[in-house]
């Protein structure tokens, strides 16, 4: 079993370059199925969630060509089935997006229910509500979702009871070739929603309002079967490195970022006394005050504080003075990381959906286990802050969403190795 071994403490310094956004790429890749064609996609991160999607594509006879520097060419013309029930479908959450894309292409879809990070229930009722509003009949049995639009897909007005990235993505994928117009109310506003809308519009779709809470889609019968597109940078990877720099009193330039996407985190770090300098495409994090002050965090849909930076932030707050709190409003039980940090000497009280982090306790290295992608990142940051050796198992979770994490941290001066037990 692979582990990450970290000798701490270390103070990070230097430049780190952020890669393509996992959560944008896993939405854009299924979108290429909507119209048979050849698509050139740049800035696709080299991570196992993408490997999983590649396996699904190639098993269905579609061509997937790798070029240098994170560019792939995908040919979806050979696809001849609407049945996506291979085992790989239950490895990732984003496999649910094949439902919307296949519905657009074939008017029907059979997909295996998705997997993904395990921090509690991850319903798909809003995805189903969207498909039904567009005229599809949906049934769920044998661990599969059967979706069919016997009379074709017709535009509709859909209100999302909860702001949902996944449901917003899936409804967009299903609506772009529907007859008539669709409005998504209370839509997710994440940058990856905007990225998907930009890609689909490049393919000839007619989507307006992405990035706001009302998205309007005018259905078109055909999309262009070719386009080139560059995926946006990963704001969660950028945030992970910003937090790691702050937690280790480091001096780090995080490059290839879109500072606007980081505003909620930047504001919190500055509040705590972290030095932040922002350029056009970089954020410079440097020591300003120490010890850092406490913080009160409430996770929210974009542009609020991202739930996907919650575990990493908890690690930083163990290094700050005083009692900080994190209230989780998206994944109410996303606290598996806390026990592992407490094994390293942290003092975190969890009473879902709130964690109280009693800061100022030094951390000591220990054997710990990552339970999901972002919890794994939080443990890496803790290992960098801790006195002694930290051994992190569950590396497969980290590999799902971070390309070359070990090399990037090594380049910043961390003593970190990937070993195979
Ligand atoms: C996406 O998950 C991301 N994953 C998650 O990132 C991220 O945490 C989440 O959005 C929130 O930003 C991908 O993009 C692949 P949601 P998703 O639908 O789409 C409720 C990571 O670490 N809900 O926005 O599954 C749900 O329970 C991962 O990169 C329903 O009630 O999240 C939650 O409380 C982890 N019914 C809220 O909405 C539904 O049908 C937001 O979920 C769907 C969701």
User: Looking at residue 417, what is its pLDDT?
Assistant: 98
User: Looking at residue 121, what is its pLDDT?
Assistant: 82
Confirm whether 352 is a catalytic residue.
Answer: no
Residue 213 CA to its chain's centroid (Å): 20
User: Looking at residue 167, what is its pLDDT?
Assistant: 98
Q: Which protein residue's CA is at the shortest distance from atom 31 of ligand 1?
A: 123
User: pLDDT by residue (tens digit) across 192-227?
Assistant: 999 999 999 999 999 999 999 999 999 999 999 999
Q: Which protein residue's CA is at the shortest distance from atom 21 of ligand 1?
A: 308
User: Looking at residue 232, what is its pLDDT?
Assistant: 98
The structural architecture, per CATH, of the domain 22-226 is Alpha-beta prism (3.65)
User: Looking at residue 120, what is its pLDDT?
Assistant: 81
CATH superfamily of 2-18+233-420: Enolpyruvate transferase domain (3.65.10.10)
- Whether 173 is in the pocket of ligand 1, judged by its Cβ within 6 Å, is no
User: Looking at residue 361, what is its pLDDT?
Assistant: 84
Domain spans, the chain: 2-18+233-420, 22-226
Global pTM reads 0.98
DSSP string, 71-130: -EEEE-TT----EE--GGGGT-GGGGHHHHHHHHHHSEEEEEPP----SS----HHHHHH
Is the fold of 2-18+233-420 the same as that of 22-226?
A: yes
How far is residue 112's CA from residue 23's CA, in Å, rounded to a whole number?
20
User: Looking at residue 50, what is its pLDDT?
Assistant: 98
Low-confidence ranges of the chain (pLDDT < 50): none
User: Looking at residue 330, what is its pLDDT?
Assistant: 97
- Whether 129 is in the pocket of ligand 1, judged by its Cβ within 6 Å, is no
How far is residue 288's CA from residue 276's CA, in Å, rounded to a whole number?
9
Judge residue 68's burial from the number of C-beta atoms within 10 Å of its C-beta, 0-12 exposed, 13-18 middle, 19 or more buried: exposed
User: Looking at residue 290, what is its pLDDT?
Assistant: 95
């Amino acid at each position: 079993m692979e582990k990450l071994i970290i000798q701490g403490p270390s103070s990070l310094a230097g430049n780190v370059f952020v890669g393509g956004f996992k959560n944008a790429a896993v939405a854009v890749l299924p979108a290429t199925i909507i119209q048979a064609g050849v698509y050139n996609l740049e800035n696709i991160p080299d991570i196992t969630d993408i490997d999983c999607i590649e396996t699904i594509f190639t098993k269905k006879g579609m061509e997937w060509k790798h070029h240098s520097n994170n560019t792939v060419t995908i040919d979806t013309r050979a696809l001849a089935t609407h049945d996506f029930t291979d085992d790989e479908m239950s490895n990732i959450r984003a496999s649910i997006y094949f439902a919307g894309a296949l519905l657009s292409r074939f008017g029907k879809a059979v997909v295996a229910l998705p997997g993904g990070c395990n921090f509690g229930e991850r319903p798909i009722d809003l995805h189903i509500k969207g498909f039904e509003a567009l005229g599809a009949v949906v049934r769920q049995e044998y661990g599969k979702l059967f979706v069919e639009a016997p009379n074709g897909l017709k535009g509709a007005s859909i209100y999302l009871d909860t702001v949902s990235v996944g449901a917003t993505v899936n409804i967009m994928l299903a609506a772009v070739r529907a007859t008539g117009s669709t409005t998504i109310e209370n839509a997710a506003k994440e940058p990856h929603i905007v990225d998907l809308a930009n890609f689909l519009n490049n393919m000839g779709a007619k989507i307006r309002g992405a990035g706001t809470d009302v998205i309007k889609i005018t259905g078109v019968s055909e999309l262009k079967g070719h386009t080139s597109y560059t995926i946006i940078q990963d704001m969660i990877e950028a945030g992970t490195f910003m937090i790691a720099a702050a937690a280790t009193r480091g001096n780090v330039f995080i490059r290839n970022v879109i500072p606007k996407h980081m505003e909620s985190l930047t504001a919190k770090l500055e509040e705590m006394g972290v030095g932040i300098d922002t350029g056009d495409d970089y954020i410079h994090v440097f020591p300003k005050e120490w010890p850092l002050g406490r913080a009160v965090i409430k996770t929210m849909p974009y542009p609020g504080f991202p739930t996907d930076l919650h575990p990493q932030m908890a690690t930083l707050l163990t290094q700050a003075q005083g009692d900080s709190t994190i209230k989780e409003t998206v994944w109410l039980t996303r606290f598996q990381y806390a026990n592992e940090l407490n094994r390293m000497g942290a003092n975190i009280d969890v009473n879902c959906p709130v964690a109280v982090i009693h800061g100022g306790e030094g951390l000591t290295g220990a054997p710990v286990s990552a339970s999901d992608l972002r919890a794994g990142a939080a443990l890496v940051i803790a290992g960098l802050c801790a006195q002694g050796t930290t051994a992190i198992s569950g590396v497969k979770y980290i590999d799902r969403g971070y390309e070359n994490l070990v090399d990037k941290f090594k380049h910043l001066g961390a003593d970190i190795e990937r070993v195979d037990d």
